[in-house]
Amino acid sequence: MTADPIDILRTTFGFSGFRGVQQQVVDRVLAGQHTLAVMPTGAGKSLTYQLPAVAMPGTCIVISPLIALMHDQLRAAEAVGIRAATLTSVDDNRAGTIARFRNGELDLLYVAPERASSGYFRDMLGQARLALFAIDEAHCVSEWGHDFRPDYRLLRPLLDSFPNVPRLALTATADAHTRADILEQLGIAPDGLIVAGFDRPNIRYAISPRDNVTRQLQALLDEQPGPGIVYAPTRNAVERLAEKLGDGGRPVRAYHAGLPPQVRAQNQADFVASEDMVMVATVAFGMGIDKPDVRFVAHAGIPKSIEGYYQETGRAGRDGDPAVAHLFWGADDFARARQRIHEVEPARQSGERARLTALGALVETAGCRRAILLRHFGEHPPERCGNCDNCLTPPKAVDASVTAQKYLSA
């Protein structure tokens, strides 16, 4: 007998109810149906496989791209009493883990995608009962996605050798094209797609051409006394901006991959504890940081894609209180991005170009920013949101000297 999901939600996880589409996803998995769930970061994707893993007989195999992520997930799962393990090259008790799996003593087994191609691993999976396959960060399977990992392509034959085991693919970032590709690559029927609401109504979006970015950022800081993040494109830009903004009287820290780990950790801890600090950072900053009261996220240059923009700005206002996302862009950002596209492998160039064009449309629009963002994620938002720069102050006319489009098409 399978226990009631609501009971497991309360007793094992300690939550009072499902959020958003969680229940829909869990119901499909429990019914044995293949599913692709597209849910924004923080929406609670892990629960949608962890709960079925507890509810169903057998082990849930979780494919995850990064060992560090796996170990975080493992700790979180064990903390609520779920029987879980990782099977990676850095784990020393692999034989013990395999024995636990064979004896049916694991709810969750986290593995890296490269293991999928091993015949030994496939045989091992055949030796005990499987509850489901959870494929985390599923956009990695698509060359259209922003983070293609060839190892994810090895998954399909493994999944196909267990045709009766339900598949649950999970991602926060997938435009329509990438989604269709994930469904196809992982053998999930199109009606298995579930998309959660991406709207963050308390975030006010604004996008402006850059002139004097230090002055522009300083003006933003003056309006927003609460904690905030300023994303800059390079380590040098981070250092420079942190120094200049530090003259304004607010506590300012820097964060990028070139700083010693203990400095990074200290700056991050200071930021999380602070009520007025400004963190100037590269995109290396933010993943897994739980700070609900970030009041603004600024970009001193264009992000990599709309997905990146959504993810980075999404770190503002997690507490639901008003927050601001302000992007400052220059034509040179687009020129440089176009240049970089020539350097990636040919197979990926059209995807990269499409991503840059989509970003250009967001930057250029005289219409609602939120509507463009949400349409990008497959939603059908109203024409105007009333909480972005263009809705609040409709632009008079587009200034042809600052259009991004010509730098996109040249």
Q: Which residue is nearest to ligand ADP (CB)?
A: 44
> What is the nearest approach in angstroms of ligand ADP to the Cβ of residue 270?
22
The amino acid at 12: T
- Which span sits near ligand ADP by CB under 6 A: 36-44, 91-99, 268-276, 362-370? 36-44
In 3D space, the residue among 30, 6, 2, 4 whose CA is nearest the CA of residue 16 turns out to be: 6
- 315 Cβ contact list (under 8 Å, min separation 6): 229, 286, 289, 291, 294, 297
Q: Does 45 bind ligand ADP (CB under 6 A)?
A: yes
For Mg ion (CB under 5 A), the number of binding residues is 1
Structure tokens at 93: 């008790």
For ligand ADP (CB under 6 A), the number of binding residues is 12
In 3D space, the residue among 155, 163, 86 whose CA is nearest the CA of residue 117 turns out to be: 155
Options 21, 37, 43, 130; binder of ligand ADP; rule CB under 6 A: 43
Select 137 or 352, whichever has its Cβ closest to Mg ion: 137
Q: Does 18 bind ligand ADP (CB under 6 A)?
A: yes
Interface with Mg ion in residues 39-98 (CB under 5 A)? 45
Contact between 140 and 146 (Cβ < 8 Å): no
Q: Does 139 bind Mg ion (CB under 5 A)?
A: no
Q: Does 46 bind ligand ADP (CB under 6 A)?
A: yes
Phi-psi region of 39 (alpha: psi -120 to 50; beta: other; left: phi over 0): beta
Select 138 or 241, whichever has its Cβ closest to ligand ADP: 138
> What is the nearest approach in angstroms of ligand ADP to the Cβ of residue 73?
8
Structure tokens at 287: 């993943």
DSSP state of 2: P
Where would I find the H helices in 247-305?
261-273
Q: Does 49 bind ligand ADP (CB under 6 A)?
A: no
The site for Mg ion (CB under 5 A) is made up of 45
Residues at the interface with ligand ADP (CB under 6 A)? 15, 18-19, 22, 39, 41-47
